[in-house]
Amino acid sequence: MRTQVGIIGAGPAGLFLAHLLRQAGVESVILESRSRAYVESRVRAGVLEAGTVETLSALGLDARMKRECMIDDGLDIRFRGKTIHLDLPGLTGQHVVIYGQQEVVKDLIASCISLGQPLEFEAKVTGLTSLDGERPEIHYLQGGEDKVLTCDFIAGCDGYHGVSRAAVPEGKITHYEKTYDFAWLGVLSRSPPLPDMTYTNSDRGFALCSRRSTQVSRLYLQVGADENPEAWSDARFWDELHQRMFDADKVEIVEGEIFQRDMARLRSFIAAPMQYGRLYLAGDAVHITPPTGAKGLNLAVADVRSLAGALGHFYRTSQRDKLARYSEHCLKRVWRTVGYSTRMTELLHKFPEQGAYRRELQFAELDFIHSSRAAQAAIAEQYVGMPYEPI
Ligand SMILES: Cc1cc2nc3c(=O)[nH]c(=O)nc-3n(C[C@H](O)[C@H](O)[C@H](O)COP(=O)(O)OP(=O)(O)OC[C@H]3O[C@@H](n4cnc5c(N)ncnc54)[C@H](O)[C@@H]3O)c2cc1C
């Protein structure tokens, strides 16, 4: 098989890229190791910045999102009995949209299939060859058979544990990494959520109450990195959440059936440059931000907008100037965003090794944000997201 752009991974990065390339008149094939059902049911992000919403709209894929999404106008941070309320439209003139990543993925897949966009499920990529030649190849295993996809370019959109980044020869790419000693235990519950996204920094640890729909809450607790999620009975989860949210009477947060749970270790990771030979990396394959900033999906979309722009330009003009700028262009946004997510992570979590001195500094900072509109505006501006700059 042969194509112009071989895309590895049908997560948000790979799916958006295929649609954007198609719009630019560039053909592509997506190879995805998992089944369609698995990919469509993977619960993760839910906060969409204006740039991500704009991209769905420009592709004509926003009809269901417009019907089913919720608009988030506020963000609350609780600490020591106080609440910082960030009025997003008042501080920035903008809001964010709540629409589950798995719903975005379903919409993108359905549209790929109806448009005849080649998308192979259960096609596990095993290796990449000739990355620095004219015709790079993707080797994959499908139905017990070894197959090869020959391409002009390869887009590595296969997430943190994928094979693309690992195919870059040693020494050609630098890894920057910070791993935290804790994780988030996340659940989905059939219960009406709090009206605003609500973070808390309590002496028992961080928690977050967010929304997926009017009847589904997405709730997180900071837990030890090696904790077993099965050790958290539903009753224990609810009890801990009430305590961390200062909901002493257990009336504010409505308990419901917990129907999904997962654990994610917090880390920051950036690989640079985001390109080697004819391989271009995008999304979680090349950077991970702690979920505190709610940015991973949005960063993946910003990457592939730039990549599609650069590839479209190449096929129209035979000029490689935009492809040559891809990594530098994306990394500016990536570092700023990782910086924001890191600051939010450090401000809101209880660090096991922290000690009383750093803990008091954390609360002094929260007190300052509580009293300063300028400090609130700085957080709100980064939360709603940077405007997208075309490559
Ligand atoms: C708990 C949690 C909460 C989050 N909350 C938010 C949020 O609120 N807002 C936000 O913006 N982001 C959030 N994120 C991050 C967001 O989910 C990711 O950044 C996003 O999924 C990245 O998309 P991607 O397409 O780059 O990678 P992925 O979604 O990981 O997709 C990669 C795809 O590649 C496939 N693949 C891997 N290896 C191979 C192979 N060898 N062959 C073929 N296919 C392969 C995988 O199966 C997968 O489908 C959250 C993440 C977590 C874990």
pLDDT band for position 57 (cuts 50, 70, 90): very high
Burial of 207: CB neighbours in 10 Å, binned 0-12, 13-18, 19+: buried
Distance 283 CA to ligand 1 centre (A): 8
> Ligand 1: distance of its center to the CA of 319 in Å?
31
Determine whether the shortest distance from the Cβ of 278 to ligand 1 is under 6 A. no
- pLDDT tens digits, one per residue of 18-27: 999 999 999 9
Q: Is 49 in the pocket of ligand 1 (CB under 6 A)?
A: no
- Confidence class of residue 131 from pLDDT cuts 50, 70 and 90? very high
Residue 173 Cβ < 6 Å to ligand 1: no
107 lines ligand 1 (CB under 6 A): no
Residue nearest to atom 41 of ligand 1 (CA): 125
**From ligand 1's centre to the CA of 361, what distance in Å?**
34
Nearest to 160 by CA among 283, 45, 47, 39: 283
Q: What percent of the chain stands above pLDDT 70?
A: 100
Q: How many angstroms separate the alpha carbon of residue 297 from the centre of ligand 1?
A: 7
Confidence of residue 77 (pLDDT cuts 50, 70, 90): very high
Say what the pLDDT of residue 353 is. Answer: 83
pLDDT at residue number 249:
87
User: How far is residue 59's CA from residue 52's CA, in Å, rounded to a whole number?
Assistant: 11
User: 35 alpha carbon to ligand 1 midpoint, in Å?
Assistant: 15
Distance CA 332, CA 85 (A): 29
Confidence of residue 43 (pLDDT cuts 50, 70, 90): confident
Q: How far is the CA of 102 from the centre of ligand 1 (A)?
A: 10
CA distance to 29, 145, 180, 337, per residue, from 183 (Å) = 35, 38, 8, 20
Instruction: Identify whether the C-beta of residue 125 lies closer than 8 Å to the C-beta of residue 138.
Output: yes
Q: Are 155 and 6 in contact (CB under 8 A)?
A: yes
**Number of the ligand 1 atom closest to the C-alpha atom of 52:** 11
Q: Identify which of 99, 98, 158, 96 has the alpha carbon closest to the alpha carbon of residue 125.
A: 158
Is the pLDDT assigned to residue 296 strictly greater than 90?
yes
Q: Residue 13 has which token pair?
A: 């990065």
Contact 33, 138 (CB under 8 A): no
Q: What is the mean pLDDT of residues 247-273?
A: 94
Q: Cα(66) to centroid of ligand 1, in Å?
A: 23
Which residue owns the Cα nearest ligand 1 atom 26? 283
Q: What is the pLDDT of residue 28?
A: 98
Mean pLDDT, residues 200-220? 95
Q: Which of 44, 154, 303 to mutate to test the pocket of ligand 1 (most atoms within 8 A of CB)?
A: 44
**Which tens digit of pLDDT belongs to each residue from 176-190?**
999 999 999 999 999
**304 Cβ inside 6 Å of ligand 1:** no
Q: How far is the CA of 158 from the centre of ligand 1 (A)?
A: 8
Instruction: Please give the single-letter amino acid code of residue 320.
Output: R
Residue with tokens 């009477």: 249
Q: Is 330 in the pocket of ligand 1 (CB under 6 A)?
A: no
Query: Mean pLDDT across the stretch 112-122?
Result: 97
Question: Picking from 106-115, 223-232, 305-314, which range would have the lowest pLDDT averaged per residue?
Answer: 223-232
Which atom of ligand 1 lies nearest, measured to the CA of 125? 42
Residue 45 pLDDT > 90 = no
Radius of gyration in angstroms for the set of CA atoms belonging to the chain, rounded to a whole number: 21
Q: 362 pLDDT exceeds 90?
A: yes
Confidence (pLDDT) at 230: 86
248 falls in which pLDDT band (50, 70, 90)?
A: confident
Name which residue sits closest to atom 4 of ligand 1, judged by CA: 45
What string of H, E and C letters represents the secondary structure of 169-210? Answer: CCCCCEEEEEEEEEEEEEEEEECCCCCCEEEEEECCEEEEEE
Percent of the chain residues past pLDDT 90, beyond the cut: 94
pLDDT of res. 354: 83
Structure tokens at 41: 């049911």
What CA–CA distance (Å, rounded) separates 375 from 386?
A: 17
- Does ligand 1 lie within 6 Å of residue 6's CB atom? no
pLDDT of 148 reads 98
From the CA of 113, how far away is ligand 1's center (Å)? 21
* Under 8 Å between Cβ of 108 and 231: no
Contact yes or no for 278/154 (Cβ under 8 A): yes
Distance 307 CA to ligand 1 centre (A): 18
Instruction: Indicate the pLDDT class of residue 159, thresholds 50, 70 and 90.
Output: very high
- Rounded to the nearest integer, the mean pLDDT of the chain is 96
CA 47 to centroid of ligand 1, rounded, Å: 14
| Of the candidates 137, 145, 164, the residue with the CA atom closest to the CA atom of residue 29 | 137
CB 31 within 8 A of CB 18: no
Q: What is the pLDDT of residue 181?
A: 93
pLDDT at 352 > cutoff 90: no
Residue 118 has pLDDT above 90, yes or no: yes
Mutate-to-test residue for ligand 1 from 126, 182, 297, 337, highest number of ligand atoms within 8 A of CB:
297
Q: For position 358, what pLDDT does the model report? A: 93
pLDDT band at 44 (very low <50, low <70, confident <90, very high): confident
Q: Which residue has the tokens 């004509």?
A: 60
Nearest alpha carbon to residue 383 among 69, 3, 64, 89: 89
284 lines ligand 1 (CB under 6 A): yes
